[in-house]
Amino acid sequence: MNARLTSCSRLHEISRLFFLLLSVSLAAGAARGGTGEKYVMLLGGNWEIAGGLPSNAMLISLQGVANAGEPRLYFRYPSGWDYNFCDPLLAYYRSSRGMRFTELASAAEALDSLARYVKGYVVWDRNVRTSLVVAFTAAGIHRAVVVTEDLIPLAEGHGLKMAEDFRGKFTGWSDVQIYEWAYGKYWHECNKNFLVYMGGESGNMMKPGIADFGIHHRCFFTDASTNPLDTLEYAFAGRLFGALKPLSIVLGWHSYKKDLEAQHVTLASHFGLRVEGLHTLPNMSFNHQIPLSPGFRFRNNHNVREGKSYVPEKKVYVACIQTDCLGLGAWTKPGRGEIPYAWEVTMNWSWLAPAMLQYFYDMATPNDYFIGSLSGPGYMYPKAVPPALLPSVVDTAYALMKTLDLNIFEIMDHSSYWSSRGIDDDLSKEIVDTYFARMPDVLGIANGYRPAHTFAVYGDKPFMSYDYYLGEKRDEREAAADLEELANLNPARPYFLLMHVRQWSDIKRVKRILDSLGPAFEVVPLDLFMKMAGRAQTFMTRFGPPLK
């Protein structure tokens, strides 16, 4: 047993050093930033196979190849895209970095300007959707664009030669047969630091926003099911995950048709991998090459001052955390800055896309407060992480928190979501102990997604689970009544009510709900909330069942 632990410790250190070198390498690339000509184009809003997907997929693959060595091509995404910061970030690059962009109006213009960086084209089969997923892998290997049959003349008209042709090749094959073939042909040439899940929408649609980054880094693409009942695809997914080093990155997102988010993240966590969603995350081959401004350091909007005493009154204190990361939902909507609000930070952006993360820090108001997430250095489930790996997971997350000036962390674990009727968000004492032992300077830790029941205080540092989940469709009057009822059910004062706000609820709506509450309620910044909750514990200490 001791020898095994020693071996695991060595593995942790090797993994830590490996990813330190990787981040330094990417940062060195980002430091270049690029001084050459840059282009911008608005992508079409149709992502159907029989509609605009072929053209959009070709352009995104062009972006992944053309941005090699220097950020050259940036896309504006259509209204309604999951990540709604493309236009504000473009304006930020123009104003803060002095970037100038040439507007492109068509795929032909894009190839006119950038085909010189491309070595060929890969043909995918409209009749076999999965052939496009494999084509993205092949495009990275061959430094090629992906095209359908009707786009071949456009590619060849710009001097490109065919690298692969998947027309008819996979007809009648199952997805797992196709991926097994791709694994045998390409895996040995693929980047083993990243794996790209080209999931999300299914059927006649695909939204491959992250594909440019995967192509740029010669990644392997898949959407293999992580549902244990899908035995063949599940086994294949496990083989892919097992071939990666612990703390490697699984980019993209699971297939909405095949499995559940909880199953996807659980399997990745079993191998100590960090998930970075979604499949719609745009322009990463461009963003990851833009450096921080000279001398910039990440600075949070702290409200707690060292040496000052914070004594809570006999009130109901409410703190709001907007989940599902920066860039989704409410950040660009009206109301931000009007009330104290906490935001999850996608911490790997500090080295994957440093200037993009700087944009959020630069745009933050004094009421915007950032916290570390989610369970690790990326999206992970601690109950699914092998216990021997959990310390290195927490250490890596804590190092990112220090870089980003964060002193509150958030955990979410749905590893038993599909097998426990969705009611187990609680954590064992062993797991909570590990986080507090290895994050000595945190003010507190938040937990859950839905309301959970794990609460504790370590010294004066609280572990607080959500008491309320505010969905975007909840009637405002009913939400206010819910909060009033929670206050009645928890009569001890002060009562600390931690509220999870679903990402699509804009802040003006949240403010209307909170403003309708009585004078006994006070909305406070999350760090002040944690500081007072640790000083005046009026909640019962409770943990989930111990690890088996």
Q: Judge contact between 208 and 198, C-beta under 8 A.
A: yes
Asked if residue 326 and residue 268 are part of one domain, the reply reads no
Closest CA to 227 of 251, 248, 246, 199: 199
Structural domain contains residue 40: yes
Structural domain contains residue 2: no
Asked if residue 212 and residue 275 are part of one domain, the reply reads yes
Residues 92-128 have pLDDT tens digits of 999 999 999 999 999 999 999 999 999 999 999 999 9
3-class DSSP state for residue 409?
strand
Range of the domain at 401: 316-535
What is the pLDDT at residue 5? 39
How are beta strands 495-501 and 468-470 bridged, if at all?
A: parallel
How large is the average pLDDT for residues 35-41?
A: 92
The DSSP-derived string for 462-483 is EEEE-SEEE-TTS-HHHHHHHH
State the pTM of this model. 0.93
Asked if residue 366 and residue 244 are part of one domain, the reply reads no
Using the Cα atoms of residue 329, residue 333, residue 335 and residue 339 in order, give the sign of their dihedral. positive
Residues 513-523 have pLDDT tens digits of 999 999 999 99
Residues 153-179 have pLDDT tens digits of 999 999 999 999 999 999 999 999 999
Asked if residue 327 and residue 272 are part of one domain, the reply reads no
How large is the average pLDDT for residues 11-20?
A: 50
Residues 203-232 have pLDDT tens digits of 999 999 999 999 999 999 999 999 999 999
Distance CA 23, CA 11 (A): 18
Task: Please give the single-letter amino acid code of residue 280.
Answer: T
Structural domain contains residue 18: no
Q: With cut-offs at 50, 70 and 90, classify the pLDDT of residue 13.
A: low
Q: Residue 27 is encoded by which pair of tokens?
A: 């940062």
Q: Which residue has the tokens 């995950």?
A: 241
Asked if residue 214 and residue 176 are part of one domain, the reply reads yes
Asked if residue 529 and residue 381 are part of one domain, the reply reads yes
Structural domain contains residue 85: yes
How large is the average pLDDT for residues 475-482?
A: 98
pLDDT at residue 378 is higher than 50: yes
Structural domain contains residue 115: yes
Asked if residue 321 and residue 416 are part of one domain, the reply reads yes
Q: With cut-offs at 50, 70 and 90, classify the pLDDT of residue 502.
A: confident
